[in-house]
Amino acid sequence: MKTSASSPEIVDLFEIYLDTSPGHYFRRLQQVTTAIFVEKTAGFGVTPVQYVALLAIGSAPGIDQRAMARKAGLDFATAAGVMQRLEKRGLIERGVSERDRRVRLLFLTEAGEELLKRVQSAVATSREQVLLPLPPEERVLLMKLLRRLCECYDNVDVSDDALELSVGEGR
């Protein structure tokens, strides 16, 4: 049987959840930041995940695919798909490691380097727009706190169905 009136207990739980659940706000801000990024970079055909992967590769030419995924904060399955798409677009090249033929080494192509140069202004504009509602000192504080939280969960394997936390002590 359906109820037509909201339960005060459920309303209270909802309010408590919103007031105490960072995940809700992180998810919502992820939606907003992605939408703004896509809007500002529309002419370049690059997603936020592709952008950070290109930056990670460009900052360490010859990095292997697993190390790039860790550096960019991507799970390995996502990184593999992103690498396929970037390679298909001619933005990266994958080579084979001489030490271990199973390891794929990643390099930006000239087209990949050029894309990173051309998209920088649009990316900066998207980042500024996301933080615009905050005064400058709160922007700095927000970024500092987000970095600290991410560092605390560096050992969380986001590719597993059952996430096991291994949070470092004293952070």
pTM for the whole structure: 0.81
Question: What are the boundaries of each domain within the chain?
Answer: 10-152
pLDDT tens column, 123-151: 999 999 999 999 999 999 999 999 999 88
Contacts of 74 (CB under 8 A, 6+ apart): 49, 52, 53, 68, 82
Q: Is the pLDDT of residue 41 over 80?
A: yes
State the SS3 of the chain. CCCCCCCHHHHHHHHHHHHHCHHHHHHHHHHHHHHHHHHHCHHHCCCHHHHHHHHHHHHCCCEEHHHHHHHHCCCHHHHHHHHHHHHHCCCEEEEECCCCCCCEEEEECHHHHHHHHHHHHHHHHHHHHHHCCCCHHHHHHHHHHHHHHHHHCCCCCCCCCCCCCCCCCCC
pLDDT tens column, 90-126: 999 999 888 888 888 999 999 999 999 999 999 999 9
The domain 10-152 is placed in CATH, from the list 1.10.10.10, 1.10.600.10, 1.10.3720.10, 2.40.170.20, at 1.10.10.10
Confidence of residue 10 (pLDDT cuts 50, 70, 90): confident
Looking at the chain, how many residues does it have? Answer: 171
